[in-house]
Structure 1
């Protein structure tokens, strides 16, 4: 009987420690799930994402696109998809903004690529983005990822607005 009381006390203490950990941990799965399913938080996050999409970009960044090689342009679009998708590994990031999407689209459209299918792929990816439609981000990421012979970091789904906002704040702010 005494052993049962001791074990009960130990289990109770451990349960309290785990509970306190989840309560204090901002990254706990419990809290993230609550945030993911909160439509008010999703709307607030989407409003902030939309605001960052409209943020102006320096002319220096925009000018760099004009001199980028085919490979760097491909990588830039790939890096942009990282803001929108879930993947085990992500190497590189570039914030998606209206100015950048428009400039990339214009540069790619007017550039002579060594491989014409590369140009077509990039324009097909960017065209919906011009109208703020990023529903193709998973397929866009994986098309580029396959094109680059990727074997780690395949995109599996779109991020929730809260996850995307968290990504933007960690990577770009």
Structure 2
């Protein structure tokens, strides 16, 4: 009987843990922060993202790049990366469009930077974006974030197309 007093509660707790585990691991239609792989939804989302990328931007928006300081240009690229990456915290948002990427690239290319490596970093980030290649977005975000002495909000991965589309709709529509 003495053993039951010791082992009874332990067995009960373990049974509860196992029960909760199996309950949560069953597919009950709950998302539990795990995105299911739905190729059709991903393709539809990517099509909408591509259309958004090609949407013309008012020249007034891109003309502002000409008067931005170096720090403002760095922050603009940083804000753009937020559309593409997962991070605990994101401050600032700027929609990525072909017009904006091309204009930013040209402005930065023709601008004097006291630190040439910052200019090179920004051009290296933007150059693939011109071709709609955003595979560098996580490293781009974290390079800029690190150069700004960031300690909260490190990017951990690229967003799925569905997540990115949701971000675009919440931030820009």
| Deviations 1:109-151 (CA, angstroms, capped at 9, x unpaired) | 0000121111000000000001000000000000000000000
SS in 1 for 2:152: coil
Normalising by structure 1, what TM-score? 0.81
1:33 corresponding residue in structure 2: 35
CA distance in 2, matches of 1:31, 1:145: 25
* 2: CA distance, partners of 1:69 / 1:31: 39
Determine the structure 1 residue equivalent to 2:115: 115
Structure index of larger Rg: 2
List alignment gaps of at least 5 residues for structure 1: 1-21
- Where does residue 70 of structure 1 map in the other structure? 70
After TM superposition, list the pairs within 5 Å mapping 1:1-173 onto structure 2.
29-30=31-32, 33-34=35-36, 37-173=37-173
Which residue pairs with 1:19 in the alignment? none
State the distance in 2 between where 1:146 and 1:29 align: 33
Describe the superposition over 1:21-44 as per-residue Cα deviations: whole angstroms up to 9, x where unpaired.
Answer: x87xxxx6258623xx10000000
State the SS of the aligned residue for 1:156.
strand
Give the TM-score, by structure 2 length. Answer: 0.81
**2:55 aligned counterpart, secondary structure:** coil
Aligned residues: 147
Query: Runs of at least 4 residues of structure 1 off by over 4 A?
Result: none
Distance 1:32 1:165, change over 3 A: farther
List runs of 5+ in structure 2 lacking aligned partners: 1-27
SS at match of 1:33: coil
- CA distance, structure 1, for counterparts of residue 41 and residue 77 of structure 2: 28
CA distance in 1, matches of 2:53, 2:35: 26
